Structure 1
């Protein structure tokens, strides 16, 4: 959550500096304009796909609250929830600022060129909700590991194809944090 607040403060500070810089010149100089950071279709698609992916991830990690899992698993799950909720807020804000819808095209065929939606199979999540006892933690770790792996794949696509500095920085953070989370999740299974 602190990262999202810090990022919004940095964006506000940068916007303020641009405003102050343009005030001394009467707005803009001849031939120049002050514009929002550039973005491309890959940036938009990354955010539009990552929002539902994160929303599903939040639903998955919330399952750990009500099940008998190790304290370390509950703590990691809570941290993932806070991080992903903050990132969802940031991504929706950027898309709104860019005048783009926050939801991706619901047609699965629209996403084949970039590897599909990368969501966890809803049947797996549904089966997980019905699992109890010691079996829950094992299945939970498997489902969450797979889910975080698909976030890493989406982030790699953005890093390669996106142009917006904020979206690319988010993709870098997602790649690094989800890779670390996957290592933690795998360590729980050994």
Structure 2
């Protein structure tokens, strides 16, 4: 009788050859968050790189450099996670493809192009506006990841938490900078 109880206990615990595989440590929301944040971060890097060659206050140049390093590191992490999950690291960049779940949170290429073409005298004000909007987009993506219908992966959720915290602080700093 003890042998039968031991066998039953092992089967109930999921031991043995009949065990069901563990559920993946991520869901579709995690994948979508990472796939959407990668191009969003790439665009952020494109925007902050414009600061290097333009006349901006030193504090803004420092912030831009810090944003670039942070977002590059995030991209590396996100791509690694997606590879580990056997998921593509790209998503359809057509904004209509994502309308059902809040849409892409990227700045219009026209706004980025206008920023590139802005005369030096207008660049600081436009840079502040474009970068603020771009960082707000990252916050919205991260809030969706950590929302009730969001992701389940602890790493992705922690990244989302850090994005909300860091981008909120950056937006506050941008809003307090005089153009």
TM superposition score normalised by structure 2: 0.85
Superimposed CA distance per residue, residues 105-131 of structure 1 (whole angstroms, 9 cap, x where no aligned partner): 234332112111111011010011011
Q: Distance in 1 between matches of 2:177 and 2:68?
A: 18
Counterpart pick for 1:108 among 70, 95, 120: 95
Question: Greater shift after overlay, 33-42 or 151-160?
Answer: 33-42
Number of matched pairs: 163
Aligned pairs (5 A) from 1:32-47? 38-47=25-34
Q: Is the 8 A contact 2:49 2:64 kept in 1?
A: yes
Secondary structure, aligned partner of 1:188: coil
Q: Is the 8 A contact 1:37 1:165 kept in 2?
A: no
Map of 1:68 onto structure 2: 55
For the aligned residue pairs, the C-alpha RMSD in angstroms reads: 1.9
The reply on whether 1:163 has 2:152 as its aligned counterpart is yes
Q: Is the 8 A contact 1:43 1:167 kept in 2?
A: yes
Question: Greater shift after overlay, 128-137 or 152-161?
Answer: 128-137
Counterpart pick for 1:178 among 143, 162, 167: 167
Unaligned 5+ runs, structure 2: 1-13
Which structure has the larger Rg? 2
- Superposition deviation, residue 29 in structure 1: 4.7
Q: Distance in 2 between matches of 1:92 and 1:111?
A: 20
Question: Greater shift after overlay, 57-66 or 101-110?
Answer: 101-110
Structure 1 residue ranges, 4+ long, deviating more than 4 angstroms after superposition: 31-37
Superimposed CA distance per residue, residues 60-101 of structure 1 (whole angstroms, 9 cap, x where no aligned partner): 000000000000000000000000000000000000110010
Unaligned 5+ runs, structure 1: 1-27
Q: Distance in 2 between matches of 1:67 and 1:136?
A: 8
Q: 1:36–1:84: structure 2 CA closer, same or farther, 3 Å change rule?
A: farther
Secondary structure, aligned partner of 2:119: coil
TM superposition score normalised by structure 1: 0.81
Map of 1:15 onto structure 2: none
Q: Distance in 1 between matches of 2:166 and 2:114?
A: 27
Map of 1:132 onto structure 2: 119
Q: Is the 8 A contact 1:64 1:77 kept in 2?
A: yes
Map of 1:12 onto structure 2: none
Q: Is the 8 A contact 2:132 2:174 kept in 1?
A: yes
Q: Distance in 2 between matches of 1:113 and 1:146?
A: 21
